[in-house]
């Protein structure tokens, strides 16, 4: 009960002999009884008060404020393993207002003990294999997501050679101990990073909590 009104979960409506229709124009959910008689113990006036209660709940739900997707080659086994490990490290990470996200701090050192494998990285104008190769796609995807959200980027570095997964100037290379990608939650609400890895796609989105 809230302010004398009965709060009824949506999945309980059919069991109470009720039906519901959503008015998209008015953004209202109208709940009514098929037989016109309220079920025992539930005042009919309370049923009419469901709409504002549901609106209040919807206002509390997180909202997506930005998203970005890149593609990778799943046949590059080692690189894919590294990418997924970095994704798991940042998935569901939350930033309160004013918090600074550091990719190197959150993901940590890329070592074989943590499951990272040798894959291609750029060293100057050369391509060599090193542990954690491929995670720059994760940092670059996150950079574009943060940029799309209009967040304050504090540190970003470009690769020494072009990459295939983002346009020139839209990458964010990282190297533990030297090159980091950092941004700040300069909004007044808590943000959450969500990551989805498909068969050959990486999608990172930012969600804002009320």
Write the pLDDT tens digit of every residue in 58-88. 667 889 999 999 999 999 999 999 999 999 9
Q: Are 19 and 13 in contact (CB under 8 A)?
A: yes
Q: Which residue bears the tokens 């990719």?
A: 103
**6: pLDDT strictly greater than 70:** no
DSSP assignment, residue 17? T
Contact predicate 79/164, CB 8 Å: no
CA distance 139 to 208: 20
* Torsion (CA) 94, 175, 112, 162 in degrees, nearest 10: 100
Nearest CA-CA partner of 204 in 73, 119, 92, 63: 92
Three-state secondary structure readout of 66-112: EEEEEECCCCCHHHHHHHHHHHHHHCCCEECCCCEEEHHHHHCCCCH
| Helix, strand, or coil (residue 15) | helix
Burial of 100 (0-12, 13-18, 19+ CB in 10 A): middle
Mean pLDDT of 186-207: 97
Residue 208 has pLDDT above 90, yes or no: yes
pLDDT over threshold 80, residue 26:
no
- Give residue limits of the domains in the chain: 10-60, 63-208
Rounded Cα distance, 120 and 129, in Å: 4
Query: Strand, helix or coil at 50?
Result: helix
Please report the pLDDT score of residue 32 as a whole number: 59
Dihedral sign (CA 184, 194, 102, 97): positive
Q: For the segment 39-50, what is each residue's pLDDT rounded down to a tens digit?
A: 555 544 444 445
Specify the pLDDT at position 30.
64
Residue 1: its pLDDT value, please?
40
**Chain segment 121-165, per-residue pLDDT in tens:** 999 999 999 999 999 999 999 999 999 999 999 999 999 999 999
Which three-class secondary structure state does DSSP give residue 155? strand
Torsion (CA) 145, 146, 147, 148 in degrees, nearest 10: 50
The answer, yes or no, to whether residue 22 has pLDDT greater than 90, is: no
- What predicted TM-score, i.e. pTM, was given to this entire model? 0.75
């Amino acid at each position: 009960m809230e302010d004398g009104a009965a709060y009824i979960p949506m999945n309980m409506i059919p069991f109470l002999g009720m039906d519901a229709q959503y008015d998209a124009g008015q953004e209202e959910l109208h709940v009514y009884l098929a037989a016109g008689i309220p079920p025992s113990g539930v005042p009919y006036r309370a049923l009419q008060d469901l709409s504002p209660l549901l609106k209040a709940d919807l206002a509390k739900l997180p909202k997506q404020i930005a998203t970005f997707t890149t593609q990778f080659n799943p046949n590059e086994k080692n690189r894919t393993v590294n990418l997924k490990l970095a994704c798991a490290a940042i998935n569901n990470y939350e930033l309160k207002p004013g918090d600074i996200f550091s990719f190197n701090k959150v993901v940590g050192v890329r070592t074989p003990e943590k499951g990272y494998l040798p894959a291609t990285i750029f060293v100057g104008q050369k391509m060599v294999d090193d542990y954690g190769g491929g995670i720059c796609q994760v940092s670059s995807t996150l950079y574009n997501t943060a940029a799309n959200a209009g967040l304050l980027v504090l540190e970003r570095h470009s690769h020494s050679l072009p990459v295939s997964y983002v346009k020139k100037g839209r990458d964010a290379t990282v190297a533990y101990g030297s090159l980091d990608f950092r941004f700040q939650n300069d909004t007044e609400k808590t943000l959450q990073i969500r990551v989805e890895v498909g068969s050959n796609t990486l999608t990172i989105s930012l969600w804002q909590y009320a």
